[in-house]
Chain A
Amino acid sequence: DGGITQSPKYLFRKEGQNVTLSCEQNLNHDAMYWYRQDPGQGLRLIYYSQIVNDFQKGDIAEGYSVSREKKESFPLTVTSAQKNPTAFYLCATSGLAGDTQYFGPGTRLTVL
Protein backbone atom coordinates (compact mmCIF):
# COMPACT_ATOMS: atom_id res chain seq x y z
CA ASP A 1 0.00 0.00 0.00
CA GLY A 2 1.90 3.03 -1.26
CA GLY A 3 1.58 6.51 0.08
CA ILE A 4 2.31 8.93 2.86
CA THR A 5 1.49 8.21 6.48
CA GLN A 6 1.34 10.72 9.29
CA SER A 7 1.01 9.91 12.96
CA PRO A 8 -0.61 10.51 15.25
CA LYS A 9 -3.89 11.70 13.72
CA TYR A 10 -4.64 13.82 16.80
CA LEU A 11 -2.10 15.19 19.27
CA PHE A 12 -2.53 17.20 22.44
CA ARG A 13 0.28 19.26 23.90
CA LYS A 14 0.63 20.98 27.21
CA GLU A 15 2.23 24.39 27.47
CA GLY A 16 6.04 24.16 27.45
CA GLN A 17 6.16 20.69 25.90
CA ASN A 18 7.96 19.63 22.74
CA VAL A 19 6.10 17.20 20.51
CA THR A 20 7.18 15.31 17.40
CA LEU A 21 4.96 14.60 14.40
CA SER A 22 5.84 11.65 12.23
CA CYS A 23 5.82 11.54 8.41
CA GLU A 24 6.78 8.42 6.47
CA GLN A 25 6.56 7.79 2.72
CA ASN A 26 7.12 4.82 0.44
CA LEU A 27 6.70 6.68 -2.85
CA ASN A 28 10.49 6.91 -3.30
CA HIS A 29 10.15 10.68 -3.57
CA ASP A 30 13.24 12.76 -2.92
CA ALA A 31 11.60 15.92 -1.59
CA MET A 32 9.51 16.19 1.55
CA TYR A 33 7.68 19.17 3.03
CA TRP A 34 5.86 20.27 6.17
CA TYR A 35 2.96 22.71 6.01
CA ARG A 36 0.75 24.27 8.58
CA GLN A 37 -2.92 24.93 7.76
CA ASP A 38 -5.03 27.39 9.72
CA PRO A 39 -8.65 28.27 8.89
CA GLY A 40 -8.86 30.83 6.09
CA GLN A 41 -5.08 31.06 5.65
CA GLY A 42 -4.25 28.28 3.25
CA LEU A 43 -1.05 26.29 3.52
CA ARG A 44 2.12 27.81 4.94
CA LEU A 45 5.48 26.13 4.41
CA ILE A 46 7.43 25.31 7.58
CA TYR A 47 10.42 23.28 6.31
CA TYR A 48 11.36 21.28 3.27
CA SER A 49 14.06 18.79 2.35
CA GLN A 50 15.31 17.84 -1.09
CA ILE A 51 17.78 15.14 -0.06
CA VAL A 52 18.79 13.16 2.98
CA ASN A 53 20.67 15.11 5.67
CA ASP A 54 19.70 18.45 4.15
CA PHE A 55 16.72 20.73 4.75
CA GLN A 56 15.73 24.38 4.36
CA LYS A 57 13.53 26.75 6.30
CA GLY A 58 10.22 27.72 4.81
CA ASP A 59 8.17 30.83 5.51
CA ILE A 60 7.31 30.07 9.15
CA ALA A 61 10.16 27.93 10.54
CA GLU A 62 10.46 29.67 13.92
CA GLY A 63 9.57 27.32 16.78
CA TYR A 64 9.90 24.20 14.64
CA SER A 65 12.73 21.76 13.89
CA VAL A 66 13.15 18.84 11.49
CA SER A 67 15.55 16.07 10.60
CA ARG A 68 16.02 13.98 7.45
CA GLU A 69 18.14 10.97 8.36
CA LYS A 70 16.37 8.63 5.95
CA LYS A 71 14.78 9.23 2.56
CA GLU A 72 11.49 7.79 3.80
CA SER A 73 11.15 9.85 6.97
CA PHE A 74 10.86 13.57 7.77
CA PRO A 75 9.74 14.14 11.39
CA LEU A 76 8.70 17.59 12.59
CA THR A 77 9.24 18.74 16.18
CA VAL A 78 7.04 21.52 17.49
CA THR A 79 9.03 23.15 20.26
CA SER A 80 7.88 25.17 23.25
CA ALA A 81 9.17 28.25 21.40
CA GLN A 82 6.22 28.02 19.00
CA LYS A 83 3.70 30.27 20.72
CA ASN A 84 0.61 29.33 18.73
CA PRO A 85 1.01 25.72 17.65
CA THR A 86 -2.65 24.70 17.47
CA ALA A 87 -3.19 23.87 13.79
CA PHE A 88 -3.53 21.12 11.20
CA TYR A 89 -0.09 19.90 10.06
CA LEU A 90 0.39 18.39 6.64
CA CYS A 91 3.36 16.47 5.26
CA ALA A 92 3.87 16.33 1.50
CA THR A 93 6.31 14.75 -0.95
CA SER A 94 7.38 15.36 -4.52
CA GLY A 95 9.82 14.08 -7.08
CA LEU A 96 13.03 15.89 -7.98
CA ALA A 97 11.24 18.30 -10.33
CA GLY A 98 9.34 19.61 -7.32
CA ASP A 99 6.34 20.49 -9.45
CA THR A 100 3.57 18.30 -8.02
CA GLN A 101 3.17 17.56 -4.35
CA TYR A 102 1.25 14.73 -2.73
CA PHE A 103 -0.09 15.05 0.78
CA GLY A 104 -0.46 12.83 3.79
CA PRO A 105 -3.67 12.67 5.87
CA GLY A 106 -2.50 15.29 8.39
CA THR A 107 -2.05 15.61 12.15
CA ARG A 108 -4.27 17.91 14.20
CA LEU A 109 -2.30 19.41 17.08
CA THR A 110 -4.10 21.08 19.96
CA VAL A 111 -2.46 22.92 22.84
CA LEU A 112 -4.22 22.41 26.14
Chain B
Amino acid sequence: QKEVEQDPGPLSVPEGAIVSLNCTYSNSAFQYFMWYRQYSRKGPELLMYTYSSGNKEDGRFTAQVDKSSKYISLFIRDSQPSDSATYLCAMSGGGGFKTIFGAGTRLFVKA
Protein backbone atom coordinates (compact mmCIF):
# COMPACT_ATOMS: atom_id res chain seq x y z
CA GLN B 1 0.00 0.00 0.00
CA LYS B 2 1.31 3.45 -0.92
CA GLU B 3 1.65 6.00 1.86
CA VAL B 4 -0.45 8.48 -0.12
CA GLU B 5 -3.17 7.54 -2.59
CA GLN B 6 -4.54 10.01 -5.12
CA ASP B 7 -6.87 9.29 -8.03
CA PRO B 8 -4.99 10.28 -11.21
CA GLY B 9 -8.15 11.21 -13.11
CA PRO B 10 -8.48 12.84 -15.52
CA LEU B 11 -11.34 14.82 -14.07
CA SER B 12 -13.32 16.92 -16.55
CA VAL B 13 -15.84 19.53 -15.38
CA PRO B 14 -17.72 22.47 -16.96
CA GLU B 15 -16.72 26.02 -16.14
CA GLY B 16 -18.32 27.21 -12.90
CA ALA B 17 -18.53 23.75 -11.32
CA ILE B 18 -17.35 22.93 -7.82
CA VAL B 19 -14.37 20.59 -7.97
CA SER B 20 -13.45 18.14 -5.24
CA LEU B 21 -9.97 16.60 -5.20
CA ASN B 22 -8.98 14.04 -2.57
CA CYS B 23 -6.13 12.07 -1.10
CA THR B 24 -5.96 9.34 1.50
CA TYR B 25 -2.92 8.42 3.52
CA SER B 26 -1.78 5.73 5.91
CA ASN B 27 0.85 7.38 8.16
CA SER B 28 -0.77 8.90 11.26
CA ALA B 29 2.43 10.88 11.94
CA PHE B 30 1.70 13.33 9.11
CA GLN B 31 1.03 16.80 10.51
CA TYR B 32 1.54 19.12 7.53
CA PHE B 33 -0.67 18.88 4.46
CA MET B 34 -0.12 20.71 1.20
CA TRP B 35 -1.75 21.06 -2.18
CA TYR B 36 0.31 22.00 -5.22
CA ARG B 37 -0.87 23.03 -8.66
CA GLN B 38 1.28 22.04 -11.62
CA TYR B 39 0.75 23.34 -15.12
CA SER B 40 2.09 21.30 -18.02
CA ARG B 41 5.93 21.39 -18.23
CA LYS B 42 6.18 23.68 -15.17
CA GLY B 43 7.27 23.21 -11.58
CA PRO B 44 4.60 22.63 -8.89
CA GLU B 45 3.28 25.79 -7.23
CA LEU B 46 2.23 25.72 -3.57
CA LEU B 47 -1.50 26.39 -3.43
CA MET B 48 -2.61 25.56 0.10
CA TYR B 49 -0.86 24.60 3.33
CA THR B 50 -2.61 23.24 6.42
CA TYR B 51 -1.26 22.14 9.76
CA SER B 52 -3.12 19.30 11.50
CA SER B 53 -6.90 18.95 11.13
CA GLY B 54 -9.44 21.51 10.05
CA ASN B 55 -10.34 23.75 7.15
CA LYS B 56 -8.48 26.55 5.44
CA GLU B 57 -9.95 28.88 2.85
CA ASP B 58 -8.17 31.10 0.34
CA GLY B 59 -10.35 32.74 -2.27
CA ARG B 60 -12.00 30.04 -4.37
CA PHE B 61 -9.93 27.29 -2.74
CA THR B 62 -10.72 25.39 0.47
CA ALA B 63 -8.49 22.71 1.97
CA GLN B 64 -9.89 20.21 4.46
CA VAL B 65 -7.99 17.76 6.62
CA ASP B 66 -9.67 14.91 8.51
CA LYS B 67 -6.91 13.18 10.46
CA SER B 68 -9.28 10.69 12.05
CA SER B 69 -10.13 9.35 8.59
CA LYS B 70 -6.67 10.06 7.12
CA TYR B 71 -8.35 11.98 4.31
CA ILE B 72 -7.64 15.39 2.81
CA SER B 73 -9.59 17.36 0.25
CA LEU B 74 -9.21 20.42 -1.93
CA PHE B 75 -12.36 22.19 -3.13
CA ILE B 76 -12.35 24.67 -6.00
CA ARG B 77 -15.44 26.86 -6.29
CA ASP B 78 -16.52 28.55 -9.54
CA SER B 79 -13.87 26.62 -11.48
CA GLN B 80 -12.24 28.38 -14.42
CA PRO B 81 -10.46 27.06 -17.53
CA SER B 82 -7.26 28.51 -16.00
CA ASP B 83 -7.65 25.96 -13.18
CA SER B 84 -6.90 23.18 -15.68
CA ALA B 85 -3.74 21.61 -14.30
CA THR B 86 -2.46 18.65 -12.29
CA TYR B 87 -3.07 18.93 -8.55
CA LEU B 88 -0.64 17.18 -6.20
CA CYS B 89 -1.33 16.52 -2.56
CA ALA B 90 1.66 16.31 -0.22
CA MET B 91 2.19 15.63 3.44
CA SER B 92 4.96 15.39 5.99
CA GLY B 93 5.62 14.84 9.66
CA GLY B 94 7.67 18.04 9.83
CA GLY B 95 11.28 18.30 10.96
CA GLY B 96 12.26 15.17 9.08
CA PHE B 97 12.60 16.72 5.66
CA LYS B 98 10.75 13.87 4.01
CA THR B 99 7.60 14.91 2.19
CA ILE B 100 5.41 12.34 0.49
CA PHE B 101 3.60 13.38 -2.68
CA GLY B 102 0.54 11.93 -4.30
CA ALA B 103 0.78 11.04 -7.98
CA GLY B 104 -1.45 13.98 -8.92
CA THR B 105 -4.97 14.40 -10.32
CA ARG B 106 -5.27 15.92 -13.76
CA LEU B 107 -8.15 18.42 -13.95
CA PHE B 108 -9.74 19.85 -17.10
CA VAL B 109 -12.20 22.74 -16.82
CA LYS B 110 -14.14 23.21 -20.04
CA ALA B 111 -15.32 26.67 -21.12
15 A-B pairs with CB atoms under 8 Å apart are A40-B8, A40-B103, A42-B88, A42-B103, A43-B101, A48-B97, A50-B97, A97-B95, A98-B96, A99-B32, A100-B46, A101-B34, A101-B90, A105-B43, A106-B43
**Are A97 and B41 in contact, with the CB atoms below 8 A?**
no
- Give residues 2-32 of B contacting A (CB, 8 Å): 6, 8, 31-32
Interface bracket on A = 20 to 34
Q: How many residues of B contact A (CB 8 A)?
A: 27
**Are A90 and B96 in contact, with the CB atoms below 8 A?**
no
Taking Cβ atoms with an 8 Å cutoff, the residues of B that contact A are 6, 8, 31-32, 34, 36, 41-46, 49, 51, 88, 90, 92, 94-99, 101-104
CB distance from A31 to the nearest CB of B (A): 6
Q: How far is the CA of A41 from the CA of B88 in the complex (A)?
A: 11
Report the 5 A-B pairs with minimum CB-CB distance, sorted nearest first: A98-B97, A42-B103, A103-B43, A99-B32, A43-B101
Q: How far is the CA of A101 from the CA of B97 in the complex (A)?
A: 9
Name which residue of chain A comes closest to B51, CB basis: A99
**Are B92 and A41 in contact, with the CB atoms below 8 A?**
no
Name which residue of chain B comes closest to A4, CB basis: B43
CB distance from B5 to the nearest CB of A (A): 11
Given A99-B92, A108-B41, residue A42 in contact with residue B32 (CB < 8 A)? no
